[in-house]
Structure 1
Amino acid sequence: MAQSPPPPVLQPVRGAARVAVAALLLAGAAWVVRAVWEIRLAVAGEPASGPPDRGDGSHRPLTALEDSYHVVVTAGGVVALICALVFLSWLWRVRDNARVLSGRPARYSDIWVYVGWSVPVMNLWVPRGLVADVYEGSTGGKPAPMILNIWWVLWLVGMVSGVGLLYQDSKDEVVERAYTELWPLLASDAAVVGAAVAAVFVVRAVTAVQLERGAAGAAAPVPAA
């Protein structure tokens, strides 16, 4: 009797998933802190001296609260960068495993794992497609769960609405917005926090599928010759 093929050799993903989940939750917490500081700025009100950015390269000295907000925003940016690196590390592992489980190449080339998040227009769907392709390859073609779409919609809202990773306003300009248009900022903060939480469930869903497939393959009996 011919032997069945050996079980697939998958990269370990449990540890990478746990680190990714922790980083995502930390990033969400950083944006909660940012929202709290924006509320504090709005409650304190704009100083009589006007906004920090006077225009034409002129800036007034910051208040203690404004200065602390700069620290909060900088710290949040560092946390977000670490989160992005950890998430991409996890994504690389599960993409490799999906290729092994599906027996086919990934839908997107490797370069899109990095540039797909920043290339204009392409960043509206490529990152979601990367994760969806991993899930479908890991499950044998099952469609991605609804939580993936929820995550992506929240990510897009946060990205384009004012406080996402790709937002280009200076810290002083965001301070001025906290004084004059708090609610749009808070809505953006909420979208970023929601995206981080939804991404946790995405990571857990993809990881669980691969762990299940890996365990099933390892436990499959190999008939004697």
Structure 2
Amino acid sequence: MPTYGVLGLAVAGAFAVGAATLCYLLTALFPLVGVQMARSAAEQLDRDVLLGAVLAEVLFSLPYLLALLTAGTLVVIWTWRARKNLDAFPGAVPNLSPAWAIAGWLVPLVNLVVPARVLADLLRNSVWQRRQSWLVGVWWVSWLVFLIGDRFVARAEQQRYDRLTELPRNDAEFATYVRFYEDALAPRLVPAVACLVAGIAFVVLIRRISAAQQDRLSRAVPAWPGQPVWPGRPGWPAPAAPMPVAPTSPQVPPTPGGTIGA
């Protein structure tokens, strides 16, 4: 069965996951910046400062989206390679086929359950320590809280933002933007904490699984030592000499009164 190196990919994936987690935390804490800009706009009655706050939040989100796309690509490749390695490990009994290592991340609703099962398979059949299975549970719960919480908070914020005055003209209307950013921080902390826990747990998982698989691959004995040599090339073993045959005397047909030849 073919095997794939996963240690280098795991390092790159862990770095990308860490970067995506950090970028998301920065976007979650943006209301701290937004409230200061909204207060400055209220003091100056300047709508352009409010527009600048919106553009600043977009700029905060771009690094997160780039890091998330990179991390997602690396994680899908790593998951497929690690799952394929299980097929070459004697004693490994995975519950899901390698196809789920890719489809499990991409299919809606399925991605809420299947990735956790794939990771549980990888951990159980690579590390061989059941006491570490709680890491998959921690990652799965925090991942679900992050996914659901982030969408719920984003939708609620959008509804609140749509109720604001589009072109504020007085102190009261500018003050609504200040309250908007003040009230936006607390709900964002729930998915932010969940994202931090999920990111740390996932980095630990991929590093441990990859280290265990790489150690097992490095200790594997190849079926044919050395490099293959084509027939007729230098290094190809010479044909074995034929086995010597002991000489025998020819058989003599029996004659009357005679004996059979030895």
Give the secondary-structure state (helix, strand or coil) at the position aligned to 1:109.
Answer: coil
For residues 9-52 of structure 1, the C-alpha deviation after alignment (integer angstroms, 9 at most, x for no partner) is 6311111111111111111111122123232224544866xxxx
CA contact (8 A) 1:98 1:135 kept: no
Indicate conservation of the 8 Å contact 1:19/1:86, yes or no.
yes
- Pick closer, same or farther for the CA change 1:14–1:174 going to 2, 3 Å: farther
More RCO (CA 8 Å, sep 6+): 1
- Against the structure 1 CA distance between its residues 202 and 16, is the aligned structure 2 distance closer, same or farther, given a 3 Å change threshold? same
Q: CA RMSD in A?
A: 3.3
Q: Does 1:183 align with 2:171?
A: no
Point out where structure 1 has 5 or more consecutive residues left out of the alignment.
1-7, 49-59
Partner Cα distance (1:99, 1:144) in 2 = 22
Aligned to 1:92: 80
What letter corresponds to residue 126 of structure 1 in structure 2? V
> Can you list the C-alpha shifts for 1:115-134, whole angstroms capped at 9, x where unaligned?
32354543332110011112
Report the counterpart of residue 16 of structure 1 in structure 2: 9
TM-score normalised by length of structure 2 = 0.64
Q: Bigger CA drift: 96-105 or 174-183?
A: 174-183
1: distance between equivalents of 2:159 and 2:5?
42
User: Does the 8 A contact of 1:116 with 1:127 survive in 2?
Assistant: yes
Quick check: which has more Rg, 1 or 2?
2
Q: Percent identity?
A: 23
Count, aligned residues: 199
Amino acid at match of 1:173: Q
- Corresponding residue to 2:215 among 212, 215, 219: 212
Cα drift, residue 62 of structure 1: 5.2
In the alignment, structure 2 segments of 5+ residues that lack a partner are 43-47, 162-179, 226-262
Matches within 5 A, 1:42-191: 42-45=35-38, 63-102=51-90, 106-139=94-127, 142=130, 144-162=132-150, 169=155, 173=158, 176=161, 178-191=181-194
Paired with 1:41 and 1:82, the residues of 2 have a C-alpha distance of 28
TM-score, scaled to structure 1: 0.73
